[in-house]
Chain A
Amino acid sequence: MKQSYLVGVLFSTSGPYALLGRDALDGALMALAEINEDPAFPFTLAPLTGDPGGITDRYQTISDALIAGGARHVVGGITSWSRKEMIPVVEKRNALLWYPCPYEGYECSDRVVYVGACPNQHIVPLFAHLVPRFGKRAYLVGSNYIWGWETNRIARKLLEDCGGAVVGERYLPLGREDVDRIVAEIEATRPDFVLNNLIGPSSYAFLRAYAALARRNPDFAPERRPVASCDLAECELDQIGEAGIGNFAAAVYFDSLDSEANRRFLAEVRRRFGDGRRVSAFFVCAYMSVRILAEAIRETGSELPEAILPFISSRSFASPMGDLTISAQTRHTAFAPLLARIAEGNIFSVVESASVPVDPDPYLADYQGLRPIGANAMERPALRVVRS
């Protein structure tokens, strides 16, 4: 009988950001199933799952229980708040956390593998695209915790650096949908664009209310004053409906990505989950977290972090979004950022993409202002305009 390793998979599949949690959980489980069916792996991976229900205080106890139950690795966490809760646990218990989501940066735990984008891979290229096309005056909204606060703070500095301004900044507690005052303030302040760091139902309510404003006043149509997000996923577009169309999103993966690797991947997704199934960066990054972990266990013959960590930075890993490499210095992943507009049929239509992966820079140590696209080709690859 094959040896089996336990892998903790810890996402909130109920609560305010359940859609993202379910998507990520499915991604992790699909990779586990693939590994277990593949004779090239001399072991199986068995999931230990838990559902914190979006309640932050549960992440610490549940992750601790998963590790106590025999899991040396935990794939999980959607919000930064939940990640910060789990880090002391994995550090204390010599386990590894695989975090598959975009986040605000300024962190580098020795016990976390960051398989999601950091700010130089999401908000910086997003603003480099938006500012020259729409203007330098932005309105910032976010959910009331560290992701919204810090991403909006970076946004403010990016705008101040290029002579722009923040005309308003508002936060809503997770799960709240009372967005009317925010939309009224946007109507009064007339920003060039809106950065939306709300998550879950707050974000959907906001996009619907903003679309209603645009129907009443065409001056707020997405062609004039779009909304842009760094955390919007395919699985959420149906919730948002028509209201999302024309608005922008930045991510390291969209299911519309036009590549042979992605076509093969999507065919496999549909075989397992059915024809209508759409997947997002959350799904794919959780999927890749498990794939990379499995490769590392196979190649090192160990599940110990001391063996896994040097290995994952020693080579690249094929993924639906191209080859991924993980920095030995920061354990963050190099990604080629994508910028898309939501098109008819709720498709993310890619408008700009980096031609090669952008090295992670979690502390924005190499930030040199919002360079016009193509001007900073030396350290970081330029983004290529696909369609505008």
Chain B
Amino acid sequence: MSPSIGIPNFRGWSAIILHRPHAAAEAITRQLERIGATARIVWPELDATSGSADVVFFDADLGHDGQFPWPPGEAPMPLIALLGSEAPGRVEWAIGQGADAHILKPIGSAGVYSALVIARHAFAARRQLLAEIEDMRDRLRRRPTVARAVIAIMQGEKMNEAAAFRRLRQIAMESRRTIEDAAEMVIARYGTTDDARDSA
């Protein structure tokens, strides 16, 4: 993940402000317009078209789970909590929604830009981590496949275990695949062993 945020640009971003009509929502709208984004104030709940917004600001003071068309923590875009009350229950609820950043009320002429930069970064970082974790889990799941492939190479090429694993790694590198994908390929080529079939 690059630590650099470049020259953050939000030109053309569409934002939804989930807040009752209020000075706070207007202040956010004005700040968004200055940085090139458009805003729509929505209340009391998000609608079917909300999923296409680039970012959602939500009121943490009067908010509840039923306002969102997705399960808590699974928003498809960065979320920014608008906190008036700092009572732990409200903060906890905002965390539960998956807030990537927050702004304290009352909202004046600053705060939206840095919250957007932080939320966009946190959202992207979280997405990337989840993708990496999913990838790791998949590779973990396929560890027996790698073992079967090493055995297949040992039997097919009359090699010891270390040489067979080196061979598998070489196949993966040359075909630009992960070890796990290369293992699938090897098993397809050599067929599988009785041992492997038993454990499958």
Contacts and interface: CB of A to CB of B under 8 A. Distances in A.
B21 to A, nearest CB: 20
Contacts of B49: none
B10 interface: yes
Contact of B34 (A157, A161, A330): A330
A200 B20 CA distance: 50
Contacts of A108: 31, 34, 109-110
Nearest to A156: B4
Interface stretch (A6-14, A252-260, A337-345, A359-367): A359-367
Select the residue from A107, A108, A366, A367 with max chain B CB neighbours within 10 A. A108
A235 interface: no
B200 interface: no
A363 B34 contact: yes
B7 A154 contact: yes
B35 to A, nearest CB: 4
Interface in B88-121: 108-110, 113
Contacts of A363: 10, 34-36, 113
A329 B35 CA distance: 10
B65 interface: no
Interface string A92-122: 0000000000000011111100000000000
A363 B9 CA distance: 8
Main secondary structure of the interface of B (DSSP, over half): loop
A366 B12 CA distance: 10
Contacts of B11: 365-366
B7 A157 contact: yes
Contacts of A154: 7
A330 B113 CA distance: 14
A109 B111 CA distance: 10
A219 interface: no
A363 B11 CA distance: 10
Interface size class of B (residues with CB under 8 A): 10 to 19
Contacts of A91: 108
Interface string A33-52: 00000000000000000000
Contacts of B109: 108-111
Given A91-B108, A108-B109, A367 B34 contact: no
Contacts of A110: 108-109
A95 to B, nearest CB: 14
A41 to B, nearest CB: 30
Nearest to B27: A110
Contacts of B7: 154, 157, 161, 364, 367
A329 B9 contact: no
Contacts of B30: 329
B109 to A, nearest CB: 4
Nearest to A365: B36
Interface in A330-363: 330, 362-363
Contacts of B31: 108
B6 interface: yes
Contacts of B9: 364-365, 367
A329 B110 contact: no
Contact of B35 (A109, A160, A161, A365): A365
Contact of B6 (A157, A365, A366): A157
Contacts of A367: 7, 9
Contacts of B36: 363, 365-366
Contacts of B132: none
Nearest to B33: A329
A91 B108 CA distance: 9
Contacts of A366: 11, 36
B110 A109 contact: yes
A366 B37 CA distance: 11
Nearest to A119: B7
Contacts of B10: 363, 365
Given A157-B6, A367-B9, A362 B110 contact: no
Q: Return the 5 tightest CB-CB contacts between A and B, nearest first.
A: A365-B36, A110-B109, A363-B35, A157-B7, A365-B11
Interface of B: 6-7, 9-11, 30-31, 33-36, 108-110, 113
Interface of A: 91, 106-111, 154, 157, 160-161, 329-330, 362-367
Given A109-B110, A110-B109, 12 more contacts: A108-B31, A108-B109, A110-B108, A111-B109, A160-B6, A329-B33, A329-B34, A363-B10, A365-B36, A366-B11, A367-B7, A367-B9
